[in-house]
Amino acid sequence: MKKIGVYTSGGDAPGMNACVRAVVRTAIYNGLEVVGIRRGYQGMIDSDFDRMETRSVANIIQRGGTILKTARCEEFRTPEGRAKAAINLKNAGIEGLVCIGGNGSYAGALALYNEHQIPTIGLPGTIDNDLYGTDYTIGYDTAINTAVDAIDKIRDTADSHNRVFLVEVMGRDAGFIGISVGISGGAEGIFIPEQEGEMDKIIEHFDHTERRTKAFSIIVVAEGDEYGGATALHNVLKDRYPDLNVRTTILGHIQRGGSPTAQDRVLASRLGYEAVLALLRGEGSKAVGIERGNVVLTSFEDAIGKRKKVDQDLITMAEVLAR
């Protein structure tokens, strides 16, 4: 293998740049040429390629977002779109790929591998931490720290006015962000997709009038909880407790931005490095992750098809600590 391509795809995540940097520098160190593919699969279809040098990734380790940009690309979901991409890659002499993205990006890489035999190594780049085959995804640590920082600030104002604050965090299908932010933000309630019945505890809590009127509370709500997010939950609470001084904050995309934490930079660097070594060993169609401190390779089929679960012990612990 003489030339590889690297791309970021799906939702951006802090640490993607640190990962691109690691891929580029490891590849060059090992005598490979590296091409940056801009805007993910769209860039593959449009031949939006750019040769990368050691210096092209200088001064990006601390930057959020992705210098390669990212995109969602409907055309790549079709065999014709993927055939176009494969021709462009072959014409550019690209013999292997590193894909930094989430579940959908892995699905695209698997299809490209099955149909056109282009070896691809996937790296988990998503703030949601919902990918099988790795304990943590790139961007998750930064996202939860951003959210906790916001909660600490909300706490100050909630305390001053004896208000109840519902804070919505990202997580349409998974509660990893919700549970971590809830625990570290000291929340009284945590609503995540994996858990039903949280409302019973909230009712038990707020049925005490003094807790509604004389104390403040922080409740963390994932977008995909059983009520469908913080705004819906706000309405449910107001209907039941008209005297409740409740405010809702949706953290939204600020969770995606910002400078990656040291932990995300180390994770991204390590995964980027390992991805290139895996390609050089002749691997393809696999995702690299870190489990219990060790580098592990997982087939794309498993990484896409299997589900990583929020630790039930954490949910139980959160309930105890919120009392």
Tell me how far apart the alpha carbons of residues 31 and 260 are, in angstroms, rounded to a whole number. Answer: 29
Least distance CB 13 / ligand ATP (angstroms): 7
Least distance CB 105 / ligand ATP (angstroms): 3
Which member of 12, 46, 50, 128 is catalytic? 128
Q: Which is nearer to ligand ATP, 41 or 216 (CB)?
A: 41
Give me 257's structure tokens: 């931005």
Least distance CB 91 / ligand ATP (angstroms): 20
Least distance CB 126 / ligand ATP (angstroms): 4
Q: Which is nearer to ligand ATP, 87 or 244 (CB)?
A: 87
Q: Which is nearer to ligand ATP, 8 or 261 (CB)?
A: 8
Q: Which is nearer to ligand ATP, 117 or 213 (CB)?
A: 117
Q: Which is nearer to ligand ATP, 123 or 318 (CB)?
A: 123
Nearest partner of 304 among 110, 98, 16, 138, judged by Cα: 110
Residue at 216: amino acid letter: F
Tell me how far apart the alpha carbons of residues 188 and 196 are, in angstroms, rounded to a whole number. Answer: 16
Q: Which is nearer to ligand ATP, 36 or 102 (CB)?
A: 102
- Using CB under 6 A as the criterion, which residues of the chain lie in contact with ligand ATP when the complex forms? 9-11, 41, 72-73, 76-77, 101-105, 107-108, 111, 126, 128
Tell me how far apart the alpha carbons of residues 244 and 163 are, in angstroms, rounded to a whole number. Answer: 8
| Integer Rg of the chain from CA | 22
Tell me how far apart the alpha carbons of residues 216 and 159 are, in angstroms, rounded to a whole number. Answer: 6
Active site residue 128: yes
Least distance CB 85 / ligand ATP (angstroms): 10
Least distance CB 294 / ligand ATP (angstroms): 24
Q: Which residue is nearest to ligand ATP (CB)?
A: 104
Tell me how far apart the alpha carbons of residues 200 and 185 are, in angstroms, rounded to a whole number. Answer: 21
Residues assigned a catalytic role: 128
